Amino acid sequence: MKVLSRLTLVVWALLLFAPGLQAAKGPRKSKKDQLVTISTPQGDIRLILFDQTPRHKANFLKLAESGFYNSTTFHRIIPNFMIQGGDANSKDADPNNDGAGSPDQKMIPAEIRPELLHKYGALAAARSGDMVNPERASSASQFYIVQNHNGTPHLNGAYTVFGQVISGLEVVDKIAQQPVADRNRPTTDIRMTVKVEKLKKKKITELYGYQYP
């Protein structure tokens, strides 16, 4: 009976401490991820969003899944630098308010990480300048994609990078070459639709060659 009691105590101890042991190992990584597809007249751009920037990832996915980005444009393009979009104002017929954003939009706290760099195809959050925004908080919706093939390292540490193009870099290049007028606005609207799909990470790697860390 004593042996049986001891065994029972051991079993209960294992049951009690098992959750603690799991917590010590940290949360289990998901085997799936969201694949974002931005469709434009020039073609499709596919991206993944980084888990290291959870607020920006959640915000972008929420907007994309709600249809917010559909019919917005890439309203500012600078060859050998970047293409910028995501402003709700770009849905209307007035080109002069594109990029101004909404004054009542809530900003997203910066999630600037030293390992997330402005590489070719990096997805980053636009924001107002340091003089009025010393915390470097991000726009609630506007983003840009780095088009310079050598990256834009002078922006590292200043803006939140929260994703990466994994397919369609040639489309980013095509958009960057479109004719522009004042304020680097394209002379022809470059409208987008944005779709989110949940896929196995293994499938994303097979399809697009992206290697998860």
Helix ranges (DSSP H) in 26-109? 54-66
The neighbour count for residue 13, using CB atoms within 10 Å, is 10
* pLDDT per residue of the chain (213 residues) written in tens, 0 to 9: 454 455 454 444 444 455 554 545 556 778 999 999 999 999 999 999 999 999 999 999 999 999 999 999 999 999 999 999 998 888 767 676 666 666 677 899 999 999 999 999 999 999 988 998 999 999 999 999 999 999 999 999 999 999 999 999 999 999 999 999 988 999 999 999 999 999 999 999 999 999 998
The neighbour count for residue 95, using CB atoms within 10 Å, is 18
Give dist(CA 55, CA 107) in Å, integer: 11
- Tell me which amino acid residue 156 is: N
Give dist(CA 200, CA 213) in Å, integer: 15
SS3 label, residue 137: coil
Q: Which domains does the chain have, with CATH numbers?
A: 32-95+103-208 (2.40.100.10)
pTM of the model: 0.85
So what's the pLDDT on residue 178? 96
Report CA-CA distances (Å) from 130 to 75, 87, 138.
22, 20, 11
So what's the pLDDT on residue 98? 66
